[in-house]
Amino acid sequence: MILQNDLILRAARGEKTERTPVWLMRQAGRVLPEYREVRAKMGGFIELVKTPEFAAEVTIQPVDILGVDAAIIFSDILVIPEAMGLPYTMVEARGPWFEKTVKTEADINKLRIADGENDLSYVCDAIRLTKTALAGRVPLIGFAGAPWTLLAYMVEGSGSKTFSRAKKFLYTEPRLAHMLLEKITESTIHYLKAQVKAGADMLQIFDSWAGILSPAQYREFALPYIADICNALHGVVPITVFAKDAFFVREDLGKLKCNTIGLDWTMDVAESRALIGNEKTLQGNADPCLLYADFDTIKSETEKMLRAFGPSKHIANLGHGLYPDLEKEKVKFFVDTIKQFRF
């Protein structure tokens, strides 16, 4: 199927675009009343993720309501640990929680390598349904969590400000950490290949907890595994790597076999471009809190961001996901400001 709007794919490949494309992390979510209506029909977040018809519906909502240039499949990064044999629950207002965590070599040996098409068929089904319903209007982005971020949850058992248990594991059991990371990486490669087979036009790897590691630890326990994933998917579809707070390894990220590097709002655009190089497309990097401001401030700051990135090799986005209490009208205004801007 020929895409009617392929701006984001062309930008990722470094091709010239008529304007800067835009999508938003967490664009399908609580910022939209329409999402909350669908969510109310379900038992909870995980039930919504595992029901392809509803997952497809909320994936498409931001395309219809906000006018973004891409949809991103509604799912969760923690579907991989669950598919490997480590189930989780989502506790309201607290986040994910694992009853069992990884502590020993025996725990790692019990985990299986996830098969993307079978173990995660509900995500693949949601992708197929979404592609049919989008009918070529915009591309569909698939995604997965980066291996280190998934290990952090699997060892810690929940979200954390410090992830001290997970970091302790790296220091005290480095051999086991690498064993677990290898299993997660292999599972993730299978999963992302299955997403592409189901119809994903583009992929993003989320390393949400990159910034809590030291540069040395990141280079040992995170980068090589992201590199393995990029190498396995290289040339199949465009790939974006978003490593939150990883300002200290931007030069290393620039060497990955991916198309796009996501920047958070703490990363200066000119400095990032100098460190990453001119080959990669950059994505980002407005502070989500900007969208609490008045309309004039949103417009001026957004245009300032666009000028900093320049007219090519940029995909506009936030430096992290939308916050649930943001006003839908201001989110749409941010998107519209980007779509109307011309150099």
Residues of the chain by 3-state class (helix, strand, coil), percent to 5: 50, 10, 35
- Whole-angstrom distance, CA of residue 287 vs CA of residue 318: 6
147-156 helix and 164-172 helix, angle to the nearest 10 degrees: 100
Spatial contact of 314 and 293, defined as CB atoms under 8 Å apart: no
Whose tokens are 């909350």? That residue is 36
The tokens describing 293, both together, are 């401001």
Where would I find the H helices in the chain?
Answer: 7-12, 33-41, 45-49, 52-65, 79-83, 105-110, 116-119, 121-134, 147-156, 164-172, 174-198, 215-221, 223-233, 250-253, 269-276, 295-309, 328-340
The tokens describing 340, both together, are 């109307």
- Assign 100 to helix, strand or coil: coil
Strand (E) or helix (H) holding 206: strand 202-207
Spatial contact of 45 and 39, defined as CB atoms under 8 Å apart: yes
Amino acid in position 243: A
For 186-195, b/e burial (b = at least 16 CB within 10 A) is bbbbbbbbbb
DSSP secondary structure code for residue 139 in this structure: -
The tokens describing 193, both together, are 């290949």
The tokens describing 220, both together, are 């040992």
Whose tokens are 């030291």? That residue is 214
Nearest Cα to Cα of residue 67 among 105, 17, 27: 27
Kindly list the catalytic residues: 26, 30, 39, 76, 153
For residue 231, report the phi and psi dihedrals to the nearest 5 degrees: -60, -40
